[in-house]
Amino acid sequence: MNTPTPFDEPATPSFSPLYQQIKTLILQSLQAGEWKPGEPIPSEMDLAVRYRVSQGTVRKAIDELSAENLVVRRQGKGTFVATHAEQHVQYRFLKLVPDEGDPSTEGPAVRTIVDCKRLRASADVARALGLRTADAVLQVRRVLAYGGVPTILEDLWLPGAPFKGLTAERLRAWPGPMYALFETEFGVRMVRAEEKIRAVLPDAEQAALLDVTLQMPLLSVERVAHTYHDTPMELRRGLYRTDTHHYRNQLG
């Protein structure tokens, strides 16, 4: 089998820095599943030989992948493909934290799957997921409760083809984070997300599920999560109670 090199990748612009070309090649291997989540990738020396570049070039590429949480360096053990199954990244995209204490003392949320159904994508869902209107999607609704208090109501939409076979029963039976299920059972790893945040009032059904009044302001968080190469794989719309929690984001 021919070993790929940055010099026989016609899709790579010639003006791209060499380490960026190596990063692209490593990403291609990650996307293809050559190295699975949680598994080690080859050493910097082995990758340098594979791609016919210096070890320093490979190190710079891996530095960027590590900064983007796509790989994890472990002292004395090597570099591993990041996974949502790891404790410290399980809730990487969940920024709601308790006013008192911290998420580690609060413990995991109790999840209730309200619904999981297949339907046709509306225009706005199709646009967010890069699909055509009326393409098949899965819609999931769930409630997350902390200390017995329903705190987050989420509606999420997934493209139908990559998540064929996902059911409410599978979601209820899965013990870990939802993204770990996507990664382990469907080969889809969420690597990046973008969010829109605003304050809203709930409708009657939303208020009932969160046990709040129609006059209680909620934090609306709309997120589009992407897998490798910026492919959108999930649209998630969450309503967050902020009477005992707040949204915290670390900048810089």
- Amino acid letter at 117? K
**Could you tell me if residue 180 is inside a domain?**
yes
The answer on pLDDT for 139 being more than 70 is: yes
**Could you tell me if residue 116 is inside a domain?**
yes
Same domain, residue pair 74 and 151: no
Same domain, residue pair 127 and 239: yes
Same domain, residue pair 60 and 140: no
Same domain, residue pair 223 and 159: yes
* Residue 88 Cα distances to 49, 84, 85, 109, 223, angstroms: 32, 8, 9, 15, 20
For 98-115, write each residue's pLDDT tens digit: 887 666 667 778 899 999
For 144-170, write each residue's pLDDT tens digit: 998 899 999 999 999 999 999 999 999
Is the separation of the CB atoms in 69 and 86 below 8 Å? no
Rounded CA-CA distance 92/96 in Å is 11
The pTM (predicted TM-score) of the whole model is 0.73
Same domain, residue pair 125 and 215: yes
Please, which residues have CB within 8 angstroms of residue 186's CB and are 6 or more apart in sequence? 162, 163, 166
Rounded CA-CA distance 187/216 in Å is 39
**Could you tell me if residue 91 is inside a domain?**
no
Rounded CA-CA distance 172/158 in Å is 17
User: How many CB atoms are located within 10 Å of the residue 252 CB?
Assistant: 2
Domain span holding position 41? 18-81
Q: Which of 208, 225, 217 is nearest to 143 (CA)?
A: 208
pLDDT at 251: 66
The CATH number for 174's domain is 3.40.1410.10
Same domain, residue pair 235 and 130: yes
Same domain, residue pair 114 and 148: yes
Same domain, residue pair 59 and 102: no
Same domain, residue pair 121 and 182: yes
H-assigned helices in 69-167: 103-106, 123-129
The CATH number for 45's domain is 1.10.10.10
**Could you tell me if residue 119 is inside a domain?**
yes
Read off φ and ψ for residue 13, nearest 5 degrees: -60, 140
Residue found by looking up tokens 């509606």 in the block: 155
pLDDT at 98: 83
Read off φ and ψ for residue 47, nearest 5 degrees: -70, -35
pLDDT at 93: 62
**Could you tell me if residue 132 is inside a domain?**
yes
Q: Six-digit token pair at 215?
A: 């006059």
Using DSSP bridges, classify how beta strands 218-227 and 231-240 pair: parallel, antiparallel or unpaired: antiparallel
**Domain count of the fold of the chain:** 2
The per-residue pLDDT of the chain, averaged, comes to 86
For 140-151, write each residue's pLDDT tens digit: 999 999 889 999
Handedness of CA 179, 183, 186, 188 (dihedral sign): positive
State mean pLDDT over 68-87: 79
Same domain, residue pair 225 and 133: yes
Which helix (H) or strand (E) covers residue 113, if one does? Answer: strand 110-120
Same domain, residue pair 22 and 134: no
